[in-house]
Amino acid sequence: MKRKFSHVIVVGIDGAGSFFKDADTPDFDRIFADGAVTYDALASNPSISAECWGAMLLGVGPEVHKLNNGIVSSTPYPVDSPYPSLFRRIREAYPDAELGSFCDWNPITYGIVENNIGVSHDTATDDELVPVVCDYIRNKKPDFLFMQFDSVDGAGHKYGYGTAEHLKRIAEVDVLINDVHSAAADAGIIDDTLFIVIADHGGTNPGNGKGGSHGGWTDGEKYVTFAASGKGVKHGIISEMNIRDLAAIVLYSLGIDAPEFDEQGWTAQIPDGLFDDADIPPYRDISHLTGAAPRISKVPHTSELI
């Protein structure tokens, strides 16, 4: 398969849900003005970080990868898993590729990414991490860079998701997104980069000044922001996608064949209306799968901090 982009940069915003549409985000709006955007991508069910980031980086749902926050915090991701991470799939296709995983919540790098495949990595708070990442982009021009910001989720837990304080933190992270985008421009790679912003889940707003939570399947928890910009990306609204589709999007962009669609395994797909490519198969409905179910979850809201 032809490689479409030399570089893919994914900026993950933990706990942002669909709330980008309510926040003051001029940089996000400008970066994706000609790109593809949706505020209705579906999270994984349950709407918890490990289940969601795991689905995105592995291309399989939580009912298959079976990761949770406790596991990814305490167990290195198996290097021989039948569900390799995107990083391993890219490494196997391109042995010399520069791969980076820079996450505030380090269990993503520790518990979802294999530790033996030469992935550059670091962890720090969002504001501290961005200068490190920008230097990394300028110096290494990574083939694939994944990063995760955690502060938006922190604001949601503390103040409630969708509150003024939560939206203010999204606005502050907007500046950080622009820093990363600008670093790719400084490095001279932005014209050959697929640039993505994606959230893992949203959360609730109980009001009364109480903090929010997530893990359930209310609209505030299950709908998330996804945006992509780059050559060949169609301008407009993506009608239907699941966050796990990130895995298919990244492989397609780097010219790597994805596994066959399999309800017991790989269920990541290229959303309709994302790329200007008639050869992409029609999007399949996966809503009957447990980890993608658009139903009221029986999973209770948890006190998960992430």
Query: What does the binding site for Zn ion look like in residue numbers (CB under 5 A)?
Result: 14, 49, 200
* Cα dist from 55 to 12, 29, 44, whole Å: 13, 26, 7
Minimum CB–partner distance for residue 88 and Zn ion (Å): 22
Residue closer to Zn ion by CB (options 148, 193) is: 148
d(CA 92, CA 120): 16
CB closer to Zn ion out of 5 and 146 = 146
The residue (of 55 and 134) whose beta carbon lies closer to Zn ion is: 55
Which residues, other chains included, contact 34 with Cβ-Cβ below 8 Å and sequence gap of 6+?
229, 233, 235
- Give the per-residue SS3 of 196-211: EEEECCCCCCCCCCCC
Residue 48 CB, nearest approach to Zn ion (Å) = 7
Question: How many other CB atoms are there within 10 angstroms of residue 147's CB atom?
Answer: 26
Of 68 and 267, nearer to Zn ion (C-beta) is 68
Among 218, 224, 185, 186, smallest CA distance to 204 is for 218
Query: Which C-beta is closer to Zn ion: that of 69 or that of 253?
Result: 69
236: left (phi over 0), alpha (psi -120 to 50) or beta: left
SS3 90: helix
Rg (CA), the chain: 17
Q: How far is the CB of 14 from Zn ion (least distance, A)?
A: 4
**Residue 279, class by beta-carbon neighbours within 10 Å (0-12 exposed, 13-18 middle, 19+ buried)?**
exposed
For residue 133, give both structure tokens.
């990442």
CA atoms within 13 A on the CB side of 128: 8
The minimum distance between CB 136 and Zn ion, in angstroms, equals 23
Residue 69 C-beta: closest distance to Zn ion, Å: 9
Residue nearest to Zn ion (CB): 49
Cβ-based nearer residue to Zn ion, 71 or 93: 71
Give, in degrees to the nearest 5, the angle at Cα 14 between 107 and 216. Answer: 95
Least distance between Zn ion and beta carbon 6 (Å): 29
Least distance from Zn ion to the Cβ atom of residue 215, Å: 10
Nearer to Zn ion, 85 or 148 (CB): 148
